[in-house]
Amino acid sequence: MRISVLLPVVCGGLVIAGSVAAQSAKEPPRSDARAALVLARQGSFEAGGRIIGDAEKSQSCDHGHVEYQIPVKARALPLFLWHSSSAAVWQRRWDGGEGFQSIFLRRGFATYVWDGPRVGRANYGCEDYTYQAMPGRDEAGFVAWRFGPRPMEWFPGLQFPAGDPEAWNQARRARYDEFDTVQNAEIEAAAAAKALDRIGPSVLVTNSAGGLRAMLTAIKSDNVAAIVAYENPGFVLLDEGQPKIEPGPYGPVYVSAPEFDRLTRIPIQLVWGDNIGKAGNWHRSYAASQAFVRTINARGGKAEILHLPDKGLRGNTHIPFADLNNVAVADLLSAFLHQHGLDRRPKRGARQSGTFRP
């Protein structure tokens, strides 16, 4: 994959323009991974967080990290990519092909890859914590990601290169330590809201536990234009004085009616892969997603479930956007964005996505 960057800078007497600008005049075919990616800008920044200590001794902590890439002639709304394992899941397919980050850059969307507080490139926390090496994590991940019902017993027709040992090696190593608690979800949501203050209105595209965190962010921020959640296990629920479910690692989180109704103002799509009832407890999460959609829509919202097998896509894992058929998965996301007017180009003279203050 080649990346060309169009920037108004001079490096060593060389102006980066000319042939790159000529390439940007014609957008490459969306499925042509051989064509150069033409970027107007890329970089990173930190968002949110607190400072602990005093005037003499302090520590900045509980912030998130954003890595962004903005294509030439970007669409009006960027994609805010929120993982629950590592940034790598957005950056590559299981076999090393292009991931969603590159696919949607080719389709004209600015992308913002998010590491939430205490995770990955934002691992300075405001509280003490200790990483624990735990043999068995690889095998637990195999089942949780629905590669198979038991470790190294692959589902037939899986959208993963099961015959390639290096693909499995890469998958199990591309992980960060995660903090799956309601408290941490709230910390991540607060930092993400600050990131969106800087970026502007964005579509939050999430995986796994990132879905709950995105919903909490939408309650805090007016800059959430939509949520597309791949395989979300945790939900925000309406507090109607009913007996409460004891929260686990992924909630639920009960909120007031005014807070919950903020989720009815934006399109929400919950996406599920294959083999849901054949590994782990994902069938329970799927049932919870159905109940969530019913509640949102009963209150005037625009939520839906997209079950990939219903669209003819079979063999998808817990991380469909990294699967071997991820271009087809991306096509369904593009269709959702188009349906809700989220793929529009900026009006002449309007602020383009990602043109935030550096």
Which pLDDT tens digits describe the chain residue by residue (358 residues)? 545 555 443 333 322 233 333 333 343 344 556 789 999 999 999 999 999 999 999 999 999 999 999 999 999 999 999 999 999 999 999 999 999 999 999 999 999 999 999 999 999 999 998 889 999 999 999 999 999 999 999 999 999 999 999 999 999 999 898 889 999 999 999 999 999 999 999 999 999 999 999 999 999 999 999 999 999 999 999 999 999 999 999 999 999 999 999 999 999 999 999 999 998 899 999 999 999 999 999 999 999 999 999 999 999 999 999 999 999 999 999 999 999 999 999 987 666 555 554 4
Q: Report d(CA 277, CA 139) in Å as an integer.
A: 18
At residue 331, the pLDDT reads 98
Q: Report d(CA 236, CA 292) in Å as an integer.
A: 8
100: Cα within 13 Å, side-chain hemisphere: 30
Gyration radius from the chain CA atoms: 20
DSSP state of 301: -
As to burial, measured by CB atoms within 10 angstroms (0-12 exposed, 13-18 middle, 19+ buried), residue 169 is exposed
274: phi then psi, degrees, rounded to nearest 5: -105, 170
What does the domain layout of the chain look like in residue ranges?
74-109+125-339
Q: Is the dihedral of CA 34, 40, 45, 47 positive or negative?
A: negative
Q: Backbone dihedral region of 48: left (phi > 0), alpha (psi from -120 to 50 degrees) or beta?
A: left
As to burial, measured by CB atoms within 10 angstroms (0-12 exposed, 13-18 middle, 19+ buried), residue 165 is exposed
- Partners of 65 in beta bridges: 46, 115
- Partners of 70 in beta bridges: 41
Class of domain 74-109+125-339: alpha beta
> With contact defined as beta carbons under 8 Å apart, do 217 and 196 qualify?
yes
